[in-house]
Amino acid sequence: MVVDDSFGSKETIQISSIREVEADQLNALLVQFGKKVPEVEQATAKKEVKGAEVEELD
């Protein structure tokens, strides 16, 4: 593969593997490279959790 960096310099690189990108991976890549705004996830409602009893030792 020949890559032109638009400054007139051309480089040759080797491709080690090619694989299909799944939908969730595509969204992550788009967000990572600033092409898509990340979706804000709603926090789940807090549930009251019964704590364990603590015994103090002397």
Q: What is the residue-wise DSSP string for 11-34?
A: EE-------PPPHHHHHHHHHHTT
Higher pLDDT, 37 or 10: 37
Average pLDDT over residues 6-20: 80
Candidate ranges 14-18, 20-24, 46-50; pick with highest mean pLDDT? 20-24
Q: What is the largest CA-CA distance in the chain?
A: 77
Q: What is the pLDDT of residue 1?
A: 67
**Is the pLDDT assigned to residue 52 strictly greater than 80?**
no
**Is the pLDDT assigned to residue 56 strictly greater than 80?**
yes
**Is the pLDDT assigned to residue 44 strictly greater than 80?**
no
